[in-house]
């Protein structure tokens, strides 16, 4: 009985008894969730436009942040470093298309997936060879003052992160649904050969989405890096973006956002209210379990299209 009480009643009593702390937990979760969403967004872009499950998105975040920090350490001013980093990410997109993707057209999904894992090794090794592997501090001048609203502690930096995340999503959603290029991207995702046959320039499209994904990665990298330093563990958040994708559906931009928020808030609450009961550190797996249970009820994700099978 006691154990049932501890699991099913006590946590809720705790939440109700200290609503201010609870709302701070939720807000903390929302902000982590936005970070996850930003990484997941990069995945969704590339998956939508090329059907490639890009495992290296996490390392791209790290790589972008490393490049930015590295340049700044060499005395390059922030604005120039940003421009240069964006150019590096575009160059990377070109390189990926030239060296990898164009040689793997119409290969099986798993082969493309594996090649991006290979790519993540290359990027990680390359980034650390050039810029070194020690933890770096990133300061691009985002305001970082705390203030109180109705007794709840808020932080300017976090709000800034949330705002830029929201902006990005809006822009991308509009781009996919209302522009000619967006339609071409969706056609490519459906079938490479068919898209080529109707005259969609596959290569241009790929370079474009990888560039955009690189920039999304840069934004995510700046946010994470400014918060917790630029280090290898940045690339591990990529793995956390996977359950986010599952919740949201692989091809849905809004899904990436909602999924990120659910995972972010869910795991924070679980860790703080239930974690101590089972020894803590459940943040490691909670997101995956949540996604797994969710999949059992809705295999196509929150926003994925329902799959109708036919023969």
Partner 1 sequence: MIYREAGQFKTSYGADQMIFPILQDRIFVILAVVAAYLVPLIANEYWLQAVLIPFLILSLAAIGLNLLTGYAGQLSLGTGGFMAVGGYMTYKITTAFPDLNVLIAVLLAGLIAALVGLVFGIPSLRIKGFYLAVATLAAQFFILWLFNKVGWFVNYSPSGTITAPPRTLLGIMVTGPEATAPVRYLIVLTFLAFFALAAKNLVRGRIGRSWMAIRDMDIAAEIIGIRPYQTKLLAFAISSFYCGVAGGLYVFCYLGSAETEAFDIALSFSVLFMIIIGGLGSILGSILGAAFITMVPIFLTNAPPLIGLSMPIDLQKHIEVMLFGSLIVFFLIVEPRGIARLWQIAKEKFRLWPFPY
Contact residues: partner 1, CB under 8 A:
53, 99-100, 103-104, 107-111, 113-115, 117-126, 128-129, 133, 239, 242-243, 245-246, 250, 278-282, 284-285, 288-289, 291-292, 295-296, 299, 301, 309, 311
Q: Which is nearer to partner 1, 184 or 241 (CB)?
A: 241
Q: Which is nearer to partner 1, 17 or 134 (CB)?
A: 134
Q: Which is nearer to partner 1, 172 or 290 (CB)?
A: 290
**Considering the complex, what minimum distance in angstroms separates the CB of residue 113 from partner 1?**
7
**Considering the complex, what minimum distance in angstroms separates the CB of residue 218 from partner 1?**
21
Of 300, 220, 238, 183, the C-alpha closest to 43 is 238
**Considering the complex, what minimum distance in angstroms separates the CB of residue 224 from partner 1?**
19
**Considering the complex, what minimum distance in angstroms separates the CB of residue 123 from partner 1?**
8
**Considering the complex, what minimum distance in angstroms separates the CB of residue 266 from partner 1?**
14
**Considering the complex, what minimum distance in angstroms separates the CB of residue 126 from partner 1?**
5
**Considering the complex, what minimum distance in angstroms separates the CB of residue 137 from partner 1?**
20
**Considering the complex, what minimum distance in angstroms separates the CB of residue 189 from partner 1?**
14
Q: Which is nearer to partner 1, 107 or 228 (CB)?
A: 107
CA 56 to centroid of chain Cα atoms: 11
Of 168, 180, 173, the C-alpha closest to 204 is 180
Rounded Cα distance between 64 and 235, Å, is 11
Q: Which is nearer to partner 1, 158 or 267 (CB)?
A: 267
Q: Which is nearer to partner 1, 33 or 248 (CB)?
A: 248
Q: Which is nearer to partner 1, 7 or 21 (CB)?
A: 7
Q: Which is nearer to partner 1, 124 or 252 (CB)?
A: 124
Of 292, 251, 218, the C-alpha closest to 47 is 251
């Amino acid at each position: 009985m006691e154990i049932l009480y501890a699991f099913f009643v006590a946590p809720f009593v705790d939440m109700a008894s200290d609503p201010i702390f609870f709302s701070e937990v939720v807000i903390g979760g929302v902000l982590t969730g936005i970070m996850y969403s930003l990484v997941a967004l990069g995945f969704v872009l590339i998956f939508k436009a090329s059907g490639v499950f890009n495992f290296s998105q996490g390392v791209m975040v790290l790589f972008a942040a490393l490049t930015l920090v590295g340049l700044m350490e060499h005395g390059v001013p922030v604005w120039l470093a940003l421009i240069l980093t964006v150019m590096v990410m575009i160059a990377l997109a070109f390189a990926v298309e030239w060296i990898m993707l164009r040689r793997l057209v119409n290969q099986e999904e798993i082969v493309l997936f594996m090649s991006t894992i290979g790519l993540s090794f290359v990027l990680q090794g390359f980034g650390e060879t050039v810029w070194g592997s020690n933890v770096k501090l990133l300061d691009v001048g985002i305001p970082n003052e705390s203030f109180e609203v109705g007794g709840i502690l808020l932080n300017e930096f976090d709000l800034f992160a949330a705002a830029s995340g929201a902006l990005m999503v809006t822009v991308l959603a509009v781009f996919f649904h209302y522009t000619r290029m967006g339609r071409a991207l969706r056609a490519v995702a459906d079938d490479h050969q068919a898209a080529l046959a109707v005259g969609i320039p596959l290569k241009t499209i790929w370079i474009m989405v990888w560039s955009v994904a690189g920039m999304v990665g840069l934004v995510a990298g700046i946010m994470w890096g400014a918060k917790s330093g630029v280090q290898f563990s940045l690339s591990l958040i990529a793995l956390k973006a996977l359950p986010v994708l599952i919740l949201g559906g692989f091809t849905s931009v809004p899904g990436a956002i909602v999924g990120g928020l659910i995972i972010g808030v869910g795991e924070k609450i679980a860790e703080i209210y239930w974690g101590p009961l089972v020894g803590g550190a459940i943040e490691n797996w909670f997101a995956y379990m949540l996604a797994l249970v969710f999949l059992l009820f809705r295999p196509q994700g929150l926003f994925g299209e329902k799959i109708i099978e036919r023969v």
